[in-house]
Amino acid sequence: MRGNINFVDRAVDCDSIRFGAERTRCEYDALDQLARAIAHTIGGQHGPLAGCSAHFLTAQTVQGTKVIIHFTVKDSALLAKAKSGSDHMRETNASIFCRDPQKAAPLKRGISLIYSYELADKSDRIEFTIDAAACTSLATVKPASAAELSQLARQAVNELRSDEIRPNNLNGA
């Protein structure tokens, strides 16, 4: 068993015992390296897209565990439209990362992806974060029970019957 652990410089192994929610220096270093690798990978995959209104600028790390992915948007109307659908954008991007176990692993370890879309003149921007909490909040599709399916079938039949007896329906009775 270890003697005194120096909490000032956190000189402990990654395999050491955790005390509460404290992370060791080694864990922070590993997350920082992982975040840098993710930013480098994202940066290598994006480039200017012909005819696209949003254009990738950079992917960089901040505070060791955050990867900020910067885009610039040419059209203010497009950014306004994106703002109105920002929940859908976040959910779509979260689905890409959270539903793939390999892509979700860094998020579960504490990495956050921050998407930032900004007008070229920097007058407006939209940001959203993909992290472990975003993965948890994704809607899970629950299969309908037999009773729910039966109720839906009854509703559909009733709607069809009500359409048949309308006076303006030529096929009605």
Both tokens of residue 27?
């864990």
The pLDDT value given to residue 90: 87
The pLDDT value given to residue 63: 86
Distance of alpha carbon 109 from alpha carbon 25, whole angstroms: 14
The pLDDT value given to residue 12: 37
* pTM, full prediction: 0.64
The pLDDT value given to residue 11: 35
Distance of alpha carbon 93 from alpha carbon 128, whole angstroms: 10
User: Going edge to edge, which strands form the sheet with 66-73?
Assistant: 54-62, 66-73, 112-119, 125-130
Q: Tens digit of pLDDT per residue, the chain (173 long)?
A: 333 222 232 333 454 444 445 667 778 788 888 888 888 888 777 665 555 678 888 889 988 889 999 989 888 888 888 888 888 888 888 998 898 888 888 999 899 999 999 998 999 999 999 999 999 888 666 777 888 888 888 888 888 776 655 555 555 44
The domain 25-141: what is its CATH number?
3.30.300.250
The pLDDT value given to residue 165: 55
Q: Show me where the domains of the chain are located.
A: 25-141, 143-173
The pLDDT value given to residue 2: 32
The H-or-E segment that residue 74 falls in is none
The pLDDT value given to residue 127: 93
